[in-house]
């Protein structure tokens, strides 16, 4: 009787197997993956593959395995701290011994509580076995095996989504940076199908000095002149890290259709500003979310001109400041719905108040102002309420 059920029906039945809520593994203000109210974190128990239903018959087993192994999370059993390493080791052994199961895996979430050596070794073995994985999230790692971890991730040629944080799941351990800027670009160029990349908590090692030996000069020349469009599907790129303009230029060449871009950029002269403007111009027809934090010479003009803003026709979310653009240029962003903005002078507040009515799509305003700045803020809050805009004020 059980064996006679149609495979399509069995597939629908096993689709109801409870999955781990994605919200547990998405960025939040406190942590890139965990929500503030989480009291327990998702974990995969390899022994659960012995669920009684899997033993009914071969047909049931084959279809159920696809659902059980397609998405795997390990390392987050906060209520069983001592079991996290053991779970990872068991799973690594099981996948290594059974390539058929490893080939099913598409999503891997690898977290760690205490960044233990054996746990990171197990995570590396899991990644090595799951060559068909398309989505990988890594939450912390043991620094001793970092080079091996980066090398293993580099070999995942089918990746569509990659997220890494240098903090453990509980924020108790801060690891070394995941990779250097050169390794970051080499990773990107090796993932032709990549769509989304998130490096959180300064997971990229920054350095602003010029390469001094021939080997490093050749490496930098290669990553700064990548093959055009080598990541044609890359849409979301979040780098909690300060880049240089030349890195932005390389990213523009690698991924011509960015929809979400988050980064800091160190500007030291006007040529750097031109590079940033050129990149934003390339992405103008696709860019929907932008968070760009300029650092460097305060005497430089703003990066985003009013003319550039008029071409950002799809931009609906912006996190910026008066160092990025003139406040008056905001009125050129007619599709803007969510604005996070930092101001430093009373005049900025006054201008913002004047142009609110020229932002027909604006729904949310998160304003950062100097702690001693009070003039005009009350009127701005009144105007926001009048136009149906939710406003949040932070003093810094």
Whether the per-residue pLDDT at 23 is higher than 70: the answer is: no
Share of the chain above pLDDT 90, in %: 53
Say if residue 290's pLDDT is above 80.
yes
Cα 19–51–76 angle (5° rounding)? 45
Residue 29 confidence (pLDDT) above 50? no
d(CA 387, CA 357): 7
CA-CA-CA-CA torsion sign (288, 323, 354, 385): positive
Selection from 6-15, 21-30, 58-67, 105-114 with the highest mean pLDDT: 105-114
Length of the chain: 396
Please give the average per-residue pLDDT across 199-214, as a whole number.
Answer: 72
* Mean local confidence (pLDDT), 137-161: 96
**pLDDT for residue 193 is more than 70:** yes
Q: How far apart are CA 300 and CA 253, in angstroms?
A: 25
**pLDDT for the residue numbered 146:** 96
pLDDT digits (tens, 9 = 90+) for 331-354: 999 999 999 999 988 889 999 999
Q: What span, in angstroms and rounded, lies between the C-alpha atoms of 140 and 76?
A: 11
Mean pLDDT of the region 278-291: 97
Better pLDDT: 233 or 168: 233
Residue whose pair of structure tokens reads 């909690």 in the numeric block: 240
The answer for 116, left when phi > 0, alpha when psi is -120 to 50, beta otherwise, is beta
- pLDDT digits 0-9 by tens, 104-143: 999 999 988 888 899 999 999 999 999 999 999 999 999 9
Q: What does the pLDDT average to over 211-218?
A: 65
Most confident of the ranges 40-54, 203-217, 308-322: 308-322
Pairing of strands 260-267, 289-296: parallel
For the chain, state the CA radius of gyration: 24
Strand partners, 394: 368
Give the pLDDT confidence score for residue 40 in this predicted structure. 38
pLDDT, mean of residues 213-220? 69
Q: What is the DSSP letter of 167?
A: B
**Which three-class secondary structure state does DSSP give residue 188?**
helix
* DSSP β-bridge partners for residue 179: 204
Pick 391 or 4 by higher pLDDT.
391
> Phi first, then psi: what are they for 43, rounded to 5°?
-140, 150
Q: Please tell me what DSSP assigns to residue 52.
A: G
Average pLDDT over residues 280-300: 87
- Contact between 46 and 95 under an 8 Å Cβ cutoff? The reply is no
pLDDT tens digits for range 72-92: 888 765 445 556 788 889 899
164 in Cβ contact with 205 (< 8 Å): no
Higher-confidence residue: 1 or 281? 281
Q: Which long-range contacts (CB under 8 A, 24 or more apart) does 298-307 make?
A: 298/323, 300/267, 300/269, 300/270, 300/273, 301/270, 301/273, 302/326, 302/329, 303/267, 303/273, 303/276, 303/277, 304/277, 304/280, 304/329, 305/277, 305/329, 306/332
Q: Is the pLDDT of residue 299 over 90?
A: no
- Find the helix packing angle between 245-254 and 181-189, rounded to 10°: 10
- Phi, psi for 301 (deg, rounded to 5): -70, 170
**Mean pLDDT, range 293-319, rounded to an integer:** 86
What is the predicted pLDDT for the residue at 212? Answer: 56
What is residue 304's DSSP assignment? B
Query: How far apart (Å, rounded) are the C-alpha atoms in residues 254 and 194?
Result: 11
Tokens for 314? 């799809």
| Dist. CA 365–CA 59, nearest whole Å | 55
97 has pLDDT over 50: yes
**pLDDT at position 169, please?**
80
Higher pLDDT pick, 373 / 53: 373
pLDDT at 46: 43
Give the percent of the chain with pLDDT over 70: 79
How high does pLDDT run on average in the chain? 83
Calpha distance 330→352 (Å, rounded): 8
What is the per-residue pLDDT for 243? 85
Backbone φ/ψ region at 293: left (φ over 0), alpha (ψ -120 to 50), beta:
beta
Instruction: Kindly report, residue by residue over 246-261, the tens digit of the pLDDT.
Output: 999 999 999 999 999 9
Q: What is d(CA 314, CA 336) in angstroms, rounded to the nearest whole number?
A: 8
Residue 383: what pLDDT? 94
Q: What is the mean pLDDT of residues 385-390?
A: 95
């Amino acid at each position: 009787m059980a064996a006679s059920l149609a495979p399509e029906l069995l597939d629908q039945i096993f689709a109801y197997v409870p999955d781990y809520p994605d919200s547990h593994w998405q960025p939040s203000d406190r942590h890139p993956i965990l929500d503030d109210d989480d009291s327990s974190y998702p974990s995969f128990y390899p022994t659960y593959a012995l669920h009684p239903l899997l033993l009914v018959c071969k047909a049931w087993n084959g279809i159920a395995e696809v659902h059980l192994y397609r998405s795997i999370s390990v390392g987050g059993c906060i209520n069983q701290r001592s079991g996290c390493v053991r779970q990872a080791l068991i799973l690594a052994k099981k996948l290594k011994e059974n390539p058929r199961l490893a080939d099913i895996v598409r999503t891997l979430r690898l977290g760690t509580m205490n960044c233990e050596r054996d746990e990171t070794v197990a995570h590396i073995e899991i990644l090595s076995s799951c060559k068909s994985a398309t989505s990988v999230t890594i939450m912390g790692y043991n620094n001793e095996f970092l080079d091996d971890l980066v090398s293993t991730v580099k070999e995942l040629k089918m990746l569509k989504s990659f997220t890494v944080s240098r903090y453990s799941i509980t924020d108790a351990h801060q690891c070394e940076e995941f990779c250097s800027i050169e390794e970051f670009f080499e990773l990107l160029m090796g993932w032709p199908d990549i769509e989304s990349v998130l490096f959180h908590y300064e997971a990229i090692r920054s350095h602003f000095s010029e390469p001094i030996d021939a080997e490093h000069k050749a490496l930098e020349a290669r990553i700064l002149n990548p093959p055009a469009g080598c990541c044609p599907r890359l849409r979301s790129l979040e780098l909690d890290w300060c880049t240089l303009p030349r890195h932005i230029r390389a990213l523009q060449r690698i991924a011509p259709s960015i929809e979400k871009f988050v980064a800091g950029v160190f500007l030291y002269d006007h040529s750097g500003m031109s590079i940033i403007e050129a990149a934003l111009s390339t992405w103008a027809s696709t860019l929907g979310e932008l968070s760009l934090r300029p650092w460097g010479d305060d005497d430089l003009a703003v990066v985003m001109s009013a003319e550039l803003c008029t071409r950002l026709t799809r931009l609906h979310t912006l996190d910026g400041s008066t160092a990025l653009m003139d406040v008056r240029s905001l009125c050129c962003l007619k599709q803007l719905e969510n604005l996070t903005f930092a101001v430093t002078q009373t005049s900025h507040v006054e201008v913002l108040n004047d142009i609110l009515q020229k932002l027909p799509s604006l729904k949310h305003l998160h304003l950062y102002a100097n702690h001693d700045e009070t003039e005009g803020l009350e009127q701005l809050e009144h105007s926001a309420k009048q136009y149906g805009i939710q406003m949040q004020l932070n003093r810094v």
